[in-house]
Amino acid sequence: MSTPLFSVGQQVRIADRTPPVHHRVPAYAKGQVGVIERVCKLHGEPEKFIRGDGKPAQRLYRVRIPQSGLWQGYDGTAGDDLDIEIFEHWLEPTE
Amino acid sequence: MSKSWGPHDIGGQEGGPIDLSEHDTAHWEWQIDAMVRLSLSKGLISDFAELRDGIEHLTQEDYDSCTYYERWAKSLAYTLVSRGVVSEQQLADKIDAVRARQEAQGLA
Amino acid sequence: MTDHDKEHDHARTFQPDHPEPTSDAARVGLALRELLIEAGHYSAEEEQEVIAAMQGASPENGGRIVARAWTDAAYKERLLGDGASAIRELGFELEPYEFTVMENTNSVHNVIVCTLCSCYPRALLGMSPAWYKSKEYRSRVVREPRSVLAEFGVELSDDIDVRVHDSTAELRYMILPQRPAGTDDWSEEKLAALITRDSLVGTQRKLSI
C-alpha cells in the first residue's frame, strides 16, 4: 500500500519482536514509543531481501524518541533525542 | 532493553574509549570493497541486505576478532557459496593456494 | 607473460606499507576475489575502476554542498527539504538511498551513527573513519552522546540539545554545520575549504577559520 499509514507528529510504538531473519530494528528501539518525525519513501523490506527482491516495497519513516525514554539514568538534557528509521510494518499507533 | 539478537546489534551496550586514530585503508581492503560492489552490480548478489545478513550470522567470536573488511569477506563468501556462485571445494582449494603462495613468499 | 599471468600479478600486488594480510578471514577474501576474476565475473581492470571511483570521493564533496548551502538560501532550503534532488544539482548522486541533511543550530547539535553496521554516505564523504565503524562508537554514541562527543573535543552546554541519528535503513546523512562568524564575504571555494569530515558527521561542532 503506498498511502502512508502514519503522519508527521503521530505517536507510535515500535514493535517488540525478533523475527528469525535479518531485520533492521536495533534491540534498544524495540517496544519504544516515539513520534513520526518524517514520512520517507518506499523501499524494499530488509526481511524480504534475503530470499527475494524485497518486494512489495514498504513505507519508511523516521521516528523521534526522547533519550530520557530510551535509557535509565540518561545523562543529558530533557530535549536530547534520537531519530531512527523504521518501516511501517514495525509501527503501531499508540491509541 | 530488548535482547540483542546478533553480534552486530550493539547500540546502547557498554563500551570503552573510542580510538580516534586514523587508519589508511589497505589495498586489499579496497579490493574487498570493490568485490562487494561488483558482486552487486554483476547480479551475483541481489542486495546489500544479503551481505549484512551474512555478517549478522557470524559467531560472536568471529565478529569480535575480525576487522571490518574481514567480516565482509567472510559474509560474502558465505553468501556466494550459499548461492552456488562458487563451491565450498573451490573456495577451500583456493584458500590453500593463497596460503601456500604467501608462505613461499615469506609473508606468512 | 600471458594475459592469465597478468591477472594473477594484479592479485599479488601489494603496497609495502600495507603488506598482504595473512589472517584466515582475509585469505577467504583474497581467495574469493581470485575465484571471481578467474571465472570472469569481473576483471582486474573493472576492479581498478571501482577502486579509483571510491578513492576519488572525499569530504571535499560534502564541503562543496555545505558551502553552496551557506551562500545560497534557496539552495539550502532545497537541500534540507530533499537532499537527494539538491545534490544532483551539484553533480552528486546517492540513489537508491535517501540523502538527508541535518542542520546544526544554536540550540541543536546533530550526530550520525549506524549502530547495526556502519552505513555512511561514502560518495559524498569518502571512506568512513575507523572510529565510525568501531564497536565503541556504535554502541556508546546512542546512549551517551555527550560523553562520546567530549572524547572528540566537543563540549556542549545544557542549552544545546543533542540529536543522534541512527542510520538504520535507507537514509544516509550529512550534517550542515553552522557557518563560522567572520566569513561573510568569503567565496564558496574558500568556505568549502573550511569544512572537515568530522563536522559533516557530527563529531566536530565549531569550524576554525
Of chain C, the percentage scoring pLDDT greater than 70 comes to: 91
Report field, pTM of the whole predicted structure over 0.90: yes
- CA A3 vs. chain centroid, Å, equals 17
Contacting residues of B for C32, CB less than 8 Å apart: 35, 73, 76-77, 80, 86, 91, 94
C85 and C139 in a common domain? yes
For an interface test with A, give the residue of C168, C173, C175 to mutate (most A CBs within 10 A): C168
Helices (H), chain C: 3-12, 24-38, 44-56, 59-71, 73-81, 83-89, 122-125, 130-133, 135-140, 145-151, 188-192, 197-201
> Could you give the count of Cα atoms lying within 13 Å of A68 in the half-sphere of its Cβ?
6
C154 and C187 in a common domain? yes
* Chain-chain contact of B10 with C34 (C-beta, under 8 angstroms): no
Determine, yes or no, domain membership for C85: yes
Of chain B, the percentage scoring pLDDT greater than 70 comes to: 100
Per-residue pLDDT of chain B (108 residues; tens, 9 = 90+): 788 989 999 999 999 999 999 989 999 999 999 999 999 999 999 889 999 999 999 999 999 999 999 999 999 999 999 999 999 999 999 999 999 999 999 887
C72 — pLDDT class (breaks 50, 70, 90)? very high
Q: Average per-residue pLDDT in chain A?
A: 93
CA distance C77 to C59: 21
Quote the pLDDT of residue A1. Answer: 56
* Chain-chain contact of A16 with B52 (C-beta, under 8 angstroms): no
C11 — pLDDT class (breaks 50, 70, 90)? very low
Contact C173, C101 (CB under 8 A): yes
Q: Which three cell numbers stand for residue B18?
A: 573510542
* Contacts of C81 by beta carbon, 8 Å cutoff, 6+ apart: none
CB-based contact, A54 to chain B, within 8 Å: yes
ipTM of predicted complex:
0.95
Q: Which three cell numbers stand for residue A90?
A: 514495525
CB-based contact, A41 to chain C, within 8 Å: yes
Give residue C97's domain range. Answer: 59-201
C76 and C51 in a common domain? no
Q: What is the DSSP letter of B17?
A: -
Segment C124-179, tens digit of pLDDT: 999 999 999 999 999 999 999 999 999 999 999 999 999 999 999 999 999 999 99
Choice among A35-44, C5-14, C45-54, C155-164 with the minimum mean pLDDT? C5-14
C109 and C78 in a common domain? yes
* Total of domains in chain C: 2
Domains and CATH numbers, chain A: 11-93 (2.30.30.50)
Quote the pLDDT of residue C17. Answer: 56
The single residue of C85, C117, C139, C187 carrying the catalytic annotation is C117
CA distance C209 to C206: 10
C96 and C34 in a common domain? no
